[in-house]
Chain A
């Protein structure tokens, strides 16, 4: 990092860039969540199923996020692993109204966690138990039980219930993610030989 960049960072002129992977099954609300996080003048009106993947950007108070919004359809899920190396954080979105496919979400999460590019990295994972406005939606506690999230020991994770259409619960999740990235950056700085 050049001196100028550092200086800009301290002054808050240039925000630190973070790459985030947004994963989850199809129809879980990944694109809607990303869309809600964007500034209101940049938000899209119509959300259609993502083909392949798309790259979106949004900013928070201290970070600038670049999100790989992956398609969750079965035939595109094998694309996910090509972007694992770039990801510094993962947002995993779950449709809490789809009880039937909770096992599929768990299966995909397990393959993700056991992937060599992810397994030994301490990257934060944020889970959104989305669509909590549905009448038959599962609570975030129940979702974390069904996905066996308590077995994730070596990575910081957080689950929050969200309603992506109204934008409820998203800010809480992003704040947590920001905090975790700040923490890991501090650690990196400390580890670096002076």
Chain B
């Protein structure tokens, strides 16, 4: 018996496409797909893993390099990394790539894991009016309050937004303004932008070891292409929205395409010789991941779907996913001619999609936040994932693994084989139908007679209840009220809460009172009659009173509550409360 499941287990392991090379749940790596890269840093044919670790988000930002299963080096980063790419910047031998880490308005270039160069984005144009106002403040011609008013005027009207310094000044309390102006007025005003995404573009050759340009997306809705050697801006393009993810293909000198996913939920496609985007894809929800597959773009959306578009913005297909997308990456095996999309999902799975077909599912012990596929160490098909909890997972694709073309869940849906829950009929039912067939007329008459009697009885009881206002819902049009009563406690003292609500649309109710009727030998109340406040429509008024049980014989009785209108003796509402038996004496 026990050998069968064991055998089955072995079979599933054998049929798996991935080898578990390494799992370190406490690697302390907190990063995203944009901050992870594989590169042959030392030119020895062994690829290293370069990770821009976000740390806690405020401190401990590090540039980590892994070799095999161990950490090779760590460099402290000054600011939070937003993107990390490795690229070849010169033609020197050996061909060791440089690492570019984007953070804030800067790009830090590392060569041989040593800081090499720092590129700063050009500052943005400053509003001339703002500059005038600050130069006046510098010469002490205006006081901080006037400065504030003038800046507010500029903020509301001008088309060039204010600099960070002015915006921060406007946020200050009046007593701090003087000090702020004195501290900052000497420095010139600058407006900086921030890098949001980074990519690489081959300069003029498609070879693997050709030099590449950096492509930068900035918060100022611009795309910059940088020269790899001189770090000058080769090309600047502008977008209608702020770029968040980017995919670059082609060569700078020949023809290229930049696919940019923006914060507005649109995807724009930029080409050479067009400073404005040529095509726009409008998505129904925000893009989470963007991967280019040949000439198509596969987008993971926030609404748990995977959508594919052509580069002219025509939708090809949509796949519905079982959970939200956390990250996406490209899986490319050129030696086998295999391309697929890796989708990390929030249900601790990574799906491999080839076109719209799911070809493989990888279960992970934690939610995956970043994925990278490529050559790591000396192995071509290596899948590297980091998890939400900071773990590192390395899997290697088997040499013999084959991905089937068709979907891995074939056949009719599972629901088709579930039997409907139709109840069975017994002999009793058949006998009953026989009787109905024979005595149909008598049965109909008897039922109609009983029905009219029941209607009469119901109407009588209803009229009686209305006459004595016994219902807990008021039927009168002028005072629509609702009441229910709750008893709490074990006794001898109980807490009695009445919940009263005015159900009118917009008419408050005034001058109401509450009166209790009870057996004075059994219960005592501090006040058996009190007024209730004005009832605003829609609000629930809980009114508490305390009831003391006097008897020690374990007897319970009914307390009646009446809601009365001042000047009228007939109650509007009545509630009957069945008091519970007092358990307090038994406890004593």
Contact = CB atoms under 8 A, between A and B. Distances in A.
Nearest to A114: B14
Nearest to A99: B69
Contacts of B399: 74, 77-78, 104, 107-108
Interface of A: 25-27, 74-75, 77-78, 97-104, 107-108, 111, 136
Contacts of B376: 100
A76 to B, nearest CB: 11
B398 A74 contact: no
B68 interface: yes
Nearest to B19: A103
B378 interface: yes
Interface in B390-442: 394, 396, 398-400
A26 B20 CA distance: 19
Nearest to A101: B379
The 8 A-B pairs at the shortest CB distance, nearest first, are namely A103-B19, A100-B68, A99-B69, A103-B21, A100-B21, A100-B69, A100-B377, A27-B378
Nearest to B70: A136
B380 interface: yes
B22 interface: yes
A97 B378 CA distance: 13
A101 B21 contact: yes
Contacts, number: 47
Interface of B: 19-22, 68-70, 335, 376-380, 394, 396, 398-400
Contact of B21 (A25, A104, A108): A104
Given A77-B399, A103-B21, A104-B396, A26 B378 contact: yes
Contacts of A78: 399
Nearest to A73: B378
16 contacts: A26-B378, A27-B378, A99-B22, A100-B22, A100-B69, A100-B394, A101-B21, A101-B378, A102-B21, A103-B19, A103-B20, A104-B21, A104-B396, A104-B399, A107-B19, A107-B399
A75 B335 contact: yes
A104 B19 contact: yes
B21 A74 contact: no
Given A74-B380, A78-B399, A101-B379, 13 more contacts: A27-B378, A77-B399, A97-B68, A98-B68, A100-B21, A100-B22, A100-B379, A101-B21, A101-B378, A101-B396, A102-B21, A107-B398, A111-B400
B218 to A, nearest CB: 38
A111 B20 CA distance: 17
Nearest to B398: A107
Most-contacted residue by chain A among B335, B376, B379, B394 (CB, 10 A): B379
A161 B416 CA distance: 60
A124 B376 CA distance: 33
B392 to A, nearest CB: 11
Contacts of B400: 111
B379 A104 contact: yes
Contacts of B335: 74-75
Contact of B377 (A74, A75, A101, A136): A101
A64 B335 CA distance: 39
A108 B379 CA distance: 14
A104 B379 CA distance: 9
